[in-house]
Amino acid sequence: MMQPHKSNKEDVRHFYDQVGWQLEDGEHYQNAHYEDLRSVSQEYIHRCHLRVNRHLKPNGRFLLDAGSGPIQYPEYLTYSEHYHYRVCADISIVALKEARKRTGAKGLMVVADVANLPFKPDAFDGAVSLHTFHHLSLEDQARAYDETYRVLAPGASAVVINGWSESPLMKRWGWVARWMNGLRGLRARLLGKNTRPAAKPAASPSESPTGTFTVKNDPAWLKKTLGGRMDFEILVWRSLSVNFLRAVFHEKLGGRALLRWVYKQEERNPHYCGENGQYPLVVVRKQSAT
C-alpha cells in the first residue's frame, strides 16, 4: 500500500516538535548540538549574534521573528529589546510554547509558514529570520524573502541568516581542521582513550548538519533571486562553520585570541567574509515612501 505523502514542511515541523525543541539536559535543546557551545568560542559567537542589531531599527512597535524557534540564545532577546511586540512565527507549536516563556507579554505567537505570512503589507518595523529559510525548497525560499519584504514597513529592514551550501574559505582552510582532527585521534589512540571525532561526523568542515530537510544556496542564487526585486546586502554573520570551530580552536592552543583575530578580520572585510565564509548576514531594506 502506498504511504500517504508527507510534505517537506510536515517533516520539518514533526522534527522540531518531536526532536529539535526537546530539552535534553534541562537547559539546552537537541538543536544546540549544531552549535559550538564550548567556552573558548563563546565570546566570538556572542559578538556575531550581536551583529544583527546593527541593521535593525533600534526600536519600533512590531518586530517579526520568522522561524523564531524557542528563542534559544539570550542574545536573540536583544533584537526586540526596544520594540513593543515581538511576533514569533513558526510552524512548530512546541517552539512557540517555549518562545512564549522567554518573551512574556511582549511575545505574540503565530503558527505560520514563512513563505506565506498571514500579515498585512508594511506591518513590521523590523524582521529577523535565523536558520529557517534553509528548511524550504528554493522556490519557497524566494517566496519567504518576498514575504519578509512585503510585510516590512517603508524605511525598515530585515536580517536573514542561513548557511551557504559551500564556503570557499572553509574549503581553503579545511586541511587545518582535518589535520587537527587527525592529531586529536592519534593522541587519543596513544593514550588508549576512545577516539571520538571533535565534531559530529560531516563530510567537510563547512557542512552544518541540521537533522531534517534543508536546501542551501549560494551567493549567485541569492543575487539572481533578489536582484532587481529588493534592496539587499550580503555581509558576514560568522565565517567559521561549527565543525571548523570545534576542530581548530581550543582553550590551550590560544583559541580565544585566535578567534578575536578572526572577528577583527571579519569586521575589516564584511562583504568578502559574507560571500566566502560559512554564514552570511543578508540585510533586506525597504525604501522609505517619498
Q: Where on the chain is the footprint of ligand SAM (CB under 6 A)?
A: 9, 12-13, 16, 31, 67-69, 72, 90-92, 95, 113-115, 130-132, 135-136
CB of 98 to ligand SAM, least distance (A): 9
- Minimal distance in Å, beta carbon 93 to ligand SAM? 9
Smallest separation, CB 184 to ligand SAM (Å): 28
Q: Which residue is nearest to ligand SAM (CB)?
A: 69
Q: Select 206 or 208, whichever has its Cβ closest to ligand SAM.
A: 208
Nearer residue to ligand SAM within complex by CB, 147 or 180: 147
Which CB sits closer to ligand SAM, 76 or 263? 76
Residue 180 or 279 having the CB closest to ligand SAM: 279
**Smallest distance, Å, CB 22 to ligand SAM?**
12
The least CB distance from residue 142 to ligand SAM, in Å, is: 13
Between 159 and 248, CB nearer to ligand SAM: 159
Shortest CB 151 distance to ligand SAM, Å: 14
Question: Over the chain, what HEC string results?
Answer: CCCCCCCHHHHHHHHHHHHHCCECCCCCEHHHHHCCCCHHHHHHHHHHHHHHHHHCCCCEEEEEEECCCCCCCCHHHHCCCCEEEEEEEECCHHHHHHHHHHHHHHEEEEECECCECCCCCCCEEEEEEECCHHHCCHHHHHHHHHHHHHHEEEEEEEEEECCECCCHHHHHCHHHHHHHHHHHHHHHHHCCCCCCCCCCCCCCCCCCCCCCCCCCECHHHHHHHHCCCCEEEEEEEECCCHHHHHHHCCHHHCHHHHHHHHHHHHHHCHHHHHHHCCEEEEEEECCCCC
Of 68 and 181, the one with the shorter C-beta distance to ligand SAM is 68
